[in-house]
A and B are shown apart, each in its own frame.
Chain A
Amino acid sequence: MDQVEKIFETRELNVNMGPQHPATHGVLRLVLDLDGETVVNVTPYVGYLHRGIEKLGESLSYFQALPLTDRMDYVSAMSNNIGYVVAVEKLFGIEAPERAKFIRTMVGEMSRISNHLLWLATHALDIGAMTVFLYCFREREWILELFEKICGARLTVTYPRIGGVRNDITQEFLESLWKFTEEFPSRILEYETLIDQNRMWLKRTIGIGVISAEEAVNWGLTGPTLRGSGVPYDVRKFTPYDAYDRVEFDVPVGTEGDTYDRYRCRMIEMRQSNNIVRQCIEKLPPGPIMADAPKFTLHPKDAMFPITHPTKEHAFYIDEKVCKGCGMCLRACPVKAITGEKKKPHKIDQAICLQCANCLAVCKFKALKIVPGGKGLSEDKLKELAQAPLPEEITKAKEHLVEHFTFIKRGPRAPEGDLYVATEVPKGELGFYFVSDGSGKPYRMRVRAPSFIHAGVLPRLCVGHLVADVIANIGTIDIVLGECDR
């Protein structure tokens, strides 16, 4: 008898789902313990897409680290960018101008729509509705094309900047976006016609992945995943950033906290986002798009033209009387055109000099002179011309140029301290935590990625349900592994 029991011993089946499984939304690996069709235990393994973004952020200046955030949640890159710049702006203590704020709110909501469209598409596809997938991508393509119009990239946009946005929107963009907002509600109706009352969809979503409001809060869920359980928490409402305090919108909440409620929340959110975009277009004020904060933003290019324009043939010359021989210029020169001993006046070899202005930017003693139109002149002539006072436009351009070089080489310097700033990205609350030691790079950058926290709740949602529902649960918490693993 014992032997028979041994032979027919039943044990749980161990199944590896992912990391290459198409329904795990990236490279999520779930180890499922199955008792027949029922899930007994789930262990999520993350980290297959780890690129060390937090660590990378520490070795790049605040300005340079912006494109990294595109690669976190690549489905809604614009929102991640905005989250980053809003946090950095707070750290620097600067504020973007009104127009930039409205533009950022507008593109942020567009990105929310595009994220929810992709979520609906893949969620529906996982559950078995192919048509919705195709229809959603049709509209998402529309939004991506609009993104391309404003910033030249569809997915990894890198559009907002610290203190504003990269470039102003065009009239053509505004009009095509308005057209989109007029058309879009009818498209949402189309998706709803396909799945909202569909009996298969209802069977696969109602009562699946139920989580109560209290539990959802305890698990740290945010965004629509939390609101589906009936908690009206939305960072846009609680601590408004950008222009969210000047637009009207509702925060939809669910009641049951199941997959269907979260689906409904996101559908309503898309409508709300569409409304916000419309309000932003209507209320878009005139004004600058970059903050007037010369220490924290790039300098206007045309202000440097008197020196940098290709038709200008300046020479650079070191005034022996002023030069203290500190050697800063010597180290900055990329071609070693500068020679000189320590504490003695340095000299530029005009035959080697590139006229690149690197030395100009580092000389603290104003010993480096620009000689307008001095390229190719003899040493004596330069010496003579260097004494003449500079025209005012060149003096101004010089200031801008020096600051520009310093900005690029050292990065915008943040005050010492630390702060945490949260923004509402489509997936939930995205937080950036900076520890600054007063240099141009963060001492520590920490990202609170909603996907990471949502991935942790999977065991709680899946245990006790059928294995097919694991797919629905992965879809409903809306994770992107790029952001989860960072």
Chain B
Amino acid sequence: MTFKKFIKTVTFIEILKGMALTLSRFFSRSVTIQYPDERRPIAPGFRGQHALAKHPQTGEAKCVGCGLCATICPSQCIHVFREKGKVSRYEIEVLRCIYCGFCVEACPYGAVVLTENYEYSDYSKENLYMTKEKLLSNWDKYMPGNKGEEYFKRFWRPMSGDFETPSQQPMFRGKRS
């Protein structure tokens, strides 16, 4: 054992260093969020519970019932029922959904979206079985004003712009600090 090593061993220098670090953290700002009282901001485009989009003018569901969302859904949790020229039932089993967002991408009519709602735990399964009415009310609740339009513009992909070079593309603009 060299002298240096000996000093290190008897002075507990590395442990003291670690302790100094934790002590300094003791006085810094806390990073913990006290969840039910505080909530972290949700990024736009969050893939939470579904909503059925409403027609901006008529206020009716945009869904025409083509069933593409039900076809693409990897967990097969969307059920679309139609009768005589209208969509009679549109149901999503929330408990089976994996929030991949493929239904949004598959729908050519822009009729289904994912909202920012992630707090939908419940005691009964019925409440977690989304019917057309519930999905439509979700639209009013979580996509008020032109938020829905914004959602489609940014997160309903791909658009033609993704296949070519748009003029205003995010780029790194040099170091700044």
Contact = CB atoms under 8 A, between A and B. Distances in A.
Interface of A: 60, 63-68, 70-71, 99, 131, 138, 141, 145, 148-149, 151-153, 156, 158, 161, 164, 166-171, 173-174, 178, 182, 190, 193-199, 281-282, 284, 286-290, 292, 297-304, 308, 310-311, 334-335, 337, 351-358, 401, 404-405, 408-409
Interface stretch (B17-25, B122-130, B132-140): B17-25
B14 interface: yes
Contact of B169 (A164, A168, A355): A168
B68 A408 contact: yes
A300 B105 CA distance: 10
Contact of B158 (A138, A298, A334, A357): A298
A358 B108 contact: no
B171 A284 contact: yes
Contact of A335 (B65, B109, B171): B65
B165 A287 contact: yes
A212 B166 CA distance: 52
Interface in B7-54: 9, 14-15, 17-18, 21-22, 31, 40, 42-43, 45-47
A65 B74 contact: yes
The 9 A-B pairs of least Cβ separation, nearest first, read A356-B66, A197-B14, A67-B100, A171-B170, A300-B160, A152-B45, A152-B47, A290-B162, A148-B43
Contacts of B158: 161, 164, 167, 290, 297-301
Contacts of A292: 163
Given A138-B31, A290-B163, A301 B108 contact: yes
Interface in B64-120: 64-68, 71-72, 74, 80, 82-87, 98-102, 105-106, 108-110, 114
A35 B30 CA distance: 46
B114 A194 contact: no
Contacts of B142: none
13 contacts: A60-B74, A63-B102, A141-B31, A152-B114, A161-B158, A198-B14, A198-B15, A282-B172, A300-B159, A300-B160, A304-B108, A354-B82, A354-B87
Contacts of B155: 152, 167
Interface of B: 9, 14-15, 17-18, 21-22, 31, 40, 42-43, 45-47, 55-57, 62, 64-68, 71-72, 74, 80, 82-87, 98-102, 105-106, 108-110, 114, 154-166, 169-172, 175, 177
Contacts of A70: 100
A396 B55 CA distance: 24
Given A174-B171, A308-B108, A356-B65, 18 more contacts: A99-B169, A141-B31, A148-B43, A151-B47, A152-B45, A178-B175, A194-B21, A197-B14, A284-B171, A289-B162, A298-B105, A302-B159, A302-B160, A310-B62, A351-B84, A352-B85, A354-B65, A354-B82
A286 B165 contact: yes
A115 to B, nearest CB: 20
A354 B66 contact: yes
A196 B15 CA distance: 10
Contacts of B106: 298, 408
Contacts of A401: 108
Nearest to B31: A138
Contacts of A194: 18, 21-22
